Amino acid sequence: MISFFIDTNILIDFISSRKPFGYNTALLFQSADEKRMKLYITALSFWNTHYYLKKLMPENEVRKIFYELTELVEIVPHNKSLMRLAIKSVHKDFEDAMQIVAAESLHEIKGVITRNKRDFKHATIPLYMPEEALLLIAE
């Protein structure tokens, strides 16, 4: 089974069915549900997604969705060593730095799925758009 780290924008696209991105992200989570891929994400992504979604839907609905998603994803913890790596990193955006160092700490992943590859330009692991990742699991 192929494993990927997913960026926050992928989670937001999926939950909010953001057009035109929601379809491919739904296929990613469906693939995880069908055990054709394994998805990793940080708790930071849930916090940031919550901030975005609370403007669009009721709190209880957001929490229900998050609870269900915890069945489909592995949560990568941030710890002191990852925090220090992010602080010292060359990435201009600290939030992106936190995501990148978390993803890079996972040796079992194929890469990061994101729509914003430019935000990860200094990453040392491969970057994939959702449609590129879906092609990889179709092989």
**Per-block mean pLDDT, blocks of 10 residues, the chain (139 long):** 94 90 92 95 93 91 95 93 92 89 93 90 91 89
Instruction: Enumerate domains of the chain plus CATH numbers.
Output: 2-138 (3.40.50.1010)
Question: Strand pairing of 127-128 and 111-113?
Answer: parallel
- pLDDT at residue number 78: 86
Question: What is the model's pTM?
Answer: 0.92
- pLDDT at residue number 18: 83
Here the tokens at position 83 are 């925090």
